Amino acid sequence: CLGGMLAVPLVVPIQAYIQTLTGDQTLLTILWSFAEEFLKFTAALTMGIISKSDDEPVDSMIYLLTAALGFAAFENVLYLFTPVSS
């Protein structure tokens, strides 16, 4: 969960940079999604999949789901507090 949360501050500037590259909304959505999914996978990989505690076949899936839930939770918190601060 923590790995996914740590990926959010990394993906925001990447998405801002990607937005300067293209004006096509479809391509922008695809590139943003790729950036998010890549960072979530990297978080799950570094936080759990390559650890010694990954000894059951289902462990990798649990690490991936936990990273995705942490990412979504922190992203939603940022979305909720952004209108308050502006």
Q: Which residues of 16-30 are buried (b: 16+ CB within 10 A; e: fewer)?
A: eebeeeeeeeeeeee
Torsional class of 67: left (φ above 0), alpha (ψ -120 to 50), beta (otherwise): alpha
Q: How far apart are CA 45 and CA 47, in angstroms?
A: 6
Per-residue confidence (pLDDT) for residue 84, from 0 to 100: 60
pLDDT of residue 70: 93
pTM for this structure? 0.80
On average, the pLDDT of the chain sits at: 88
Range of the domain at 63: 2-85
| pLDDT given for residue 67 in this prediction | 92
Count structural domains, the chain.
1
For 24-51, write each residue's pLDDT tens digit: 999 999 999 999 999 999 998 888 877 7
